[in-house]
A = this chain, B = another copy of it.
Amino acid sequence: MKIMKKKLLIKDVANMVGVSTATISRFLNGKYQSMSESTRQKIASTIESIGYQPNNIARSLRSQESKTIAVIMADIFNPYSMDVLRGIEEYCSQEGYKIFICDAKNSGARERNYIEEMVNRGVDGFILNTTGENDLFVKGISLEHPVVLIGRKIKNSNISSVAADNAQGVKLALEHLLKTNCQRVSYLTPAPGNVSPRIERVDTFERFAALSAFSHISFECIKLAVVDREHVTKTLETLIASSSQNHTIITGNGLLSLYVVQAAKALNKRIPEDFSLIGFDETEWSEILKNPLTVVAQPTYDIGCTAAKKIITTLRKANESNETQIILLPFSLIVRETA
């Protein structure tokens, strides 16, 4: 037996106060200058006492804004994504925005579906950690809706983006190696495809490899078409078989770091005794390894906050200047024991 206390409407409030719905609406939207102090107070106390809350669906339909932002992540279950989301969520909720979180599961098709669905749900803007498979489509969307990209860029577009400074991150890792007696570096990365940070890092590695300061170190980039435990184990096995002394492996993300640590265990290799390891991205477990993991960490939480701030600022300035910005945030090196 459901006791449906009838939902209160704006006209109920209007009747109780003895004014029109227009005035109540003005109150709800904070337009206090356009009403007398006394009506203002009457409305305030009435709403307070009966606990009226406006229907946001109706507000959105009429005002064409929903105070909602769609956040579409390429892969939400990556720890990187989680931390970024935390930043986005915190900033948005503090500014009165709600977020739709969508997981593209690394599929361009899913990503497109979500974007369309969110347009139809009237979100005010998008924060996109794009799969890299929808550059053209996303450019199109950005002409009609505010978009900020996180972690990934789209070439030849004027879409704002917030990301870690990959060139600086690679530099940080390599300069650290210069202080050791490292003679060989293998960078393990998922196949870059059209994913901008992966491309940037590989490019930076290759630039450094050509530098005379690094001439005593041999470089290689290993691009994994499939990232799972089995493939990483096989790769590591080959790598170690051919291993010279003072070999450092750099892993392109937290998942790869995890797989390498697992693979080393399976192959009975010790880190750093048998090879050194630097991971991109901080992980929950970095510190609890027998030898804690040395890591080059992104400011994930900041990336989230900054992206949220950028989109909300854009929304507020509406059709004003709204300049494109590429915001780069620095990595930090956390030296522990594996390198």
Contacts and interface: CB of A to CB of B under 8 A. Distances in A.
Copies of this chain in its oligomeric complex: 2
A209 to B, nearest CB: 30
B82 A143 contact: no
A265 interface: yes
Interface in A45-74: 53-58, 60-61, 66
Contacts of A258: 284-285, 288
Contacts of A57: 57, 60-61, 66, 121-122
Interface stretch (A95-103, A182-190, A230-238, A303-311): A95-103
Given A53-B116, A98-B121, A265 B288 contact: yes
A53 to B, nearest CB: 5
Contact of A77 (B53, B82, B121, B290): B82
A2 interface: yes
Interface in A255-283: 258, 261-262, 265, 283
Interface residues of A, number: 42
Interface of A: 2-5, 53-58, 60-61, 66, 76-77, 82, 86, 89, 98-101, 103, 116-117, 119-122, 143-144, 258, 261-262, 265, 283-285, 287-290
Given A56-B117, A58-B61, A262-B288, 10 more contacts: A4-B144, A5-B144, A56-B122, A89-B103, A98-B100, A98-B121, A99-B101, A258-B288, A283-B284, A285-B285
23 contacts: A2-B144, A53-B119, A55-B122, A56-B117, A56-B120, A57-B57, A57-B60, A57-B121, A76-B86, A76-B89, A77-B86, A82-B82, A89-B103, A98-B117, A101-B101, A262-B288, A265-B287, A265-B288, A283-B285, A284-B284, A285-B285, A289-B289, A289-B290
